[in-house]
Amino acid sequence: MKRMKHPNKKASEMSLKELASYIDYSVLKPEFTEDQIVELTKDGVELGCATICINPGYMELCKPYVEGSETKLCPVCDFPFGTSSTESKVAQAKILVDHYADVIGELDIVANFGWIRSGKYDAVTQDIKAVVDVCHEKNIPVKVIFETDALNEEQVRKACHCAMDAKADFVKTSTGFLTGFEAHGATPEIIKIMQEEVQDVCKVKGSGCIRTREHFLQLIDMGIDRMGVGYKSVPVVLDLKR
């Protein structure tokens, strides 16, 4: 099974810095003002989060605030639907990695989950691989979002193999922007399913509905690699007195 980040330590025994290193601080709401985006980016850097997850148009805005820190930027690609053409996804990814490779930790791409639901697994693999290839040229790891709340267990398991075949670095549960389905996000059950499929081939990122410290610590103890946490929940999961 997967190698845990801190195999000899329970999450409840970890330092604030160790816990923050599991977090992609989500700053993705389209209604955020530039001032809000800067404020949240600075907060994530101060806490020592792994990355700040942002929309591509704000790379230039946020870049100065992560430079010289351990925190990187994590732009999202074809977010939140994943339904653009492969060429469009590749173009967006290429612009990002060509201009900002020095500050990008990873790039998060949305799989075409309509194709996953349609059983078009070969097409899904090729779509992901085209983006992975562009990013890997610049040594940028890629996380693939499946939108698991729209999928059944078989579809999630097969999607994991699409990501592995495409040489992606992470599989990820959710965008946080799905409508028309019940929101469960990164449940322990879905994380376990993804871990079972990818073993040591890919890392696993949970996102969506991680709003309590108990849930956050439980996923770490399960061996999760990363979590996307929204700005309101970051102080809760880290037990910050704000």
pLDDT at position 106: 98
Quote the Cα angle for 87-55-226, to 5°: 100
**Total residue length of the chain:** 242
% the chain with pLDDT above 90: 96
Chain mean pLDDT for the chain: 97
Q: Tell me which residue of 160, 163, 164 sits closest to 191, measured CA to CA.
A: 160
Give the residue numbers annotated as catalytic, written as ranges: 108, 172, 205
Residues ≥6 apart with Cβ < 8 Å to 12: 217
Q: Tell me which residue of 46, 9, 25, 7 sits closest to 231, measured CA to CA.
A: 25
Helices vs. strands in the chain: H and E counts, helices first:
10, 8
Say what the pTM is: 0.96
pLDDT at position 5: 78
pLDDT at position 1: 52
Residues β-bridged to residue 24 = 51, 228
Give the pLDDT band (50/70/90) at residue 46. Answer: very high
pLDDT at position 12: 96
Q: Tally Cβ neighbours within 10 Å of residue 94.
A: 15
Secondary structure class of 114 (helix, strand, coil): helix
Q: How far apart are CA 222 and CA 95, in angstroms?
A: 36
Q: How far apart are CA 86 and CA 46, in angstroms?
A: 36
Q: Which residue, chain included where needed, has tokens 């097409």?
A: 123
Average pLDDT over residues 26-52: 98
Q: How far apart are CA 28 and CA 125, in angstroms?
A: 26
Q: Could you report the per-residue pLDDT of 107-161, keeping only the tens digit for each? A: 999 999 999 999 999 999 999 999 999 999 999 999 999 999 999 999 999 999 9
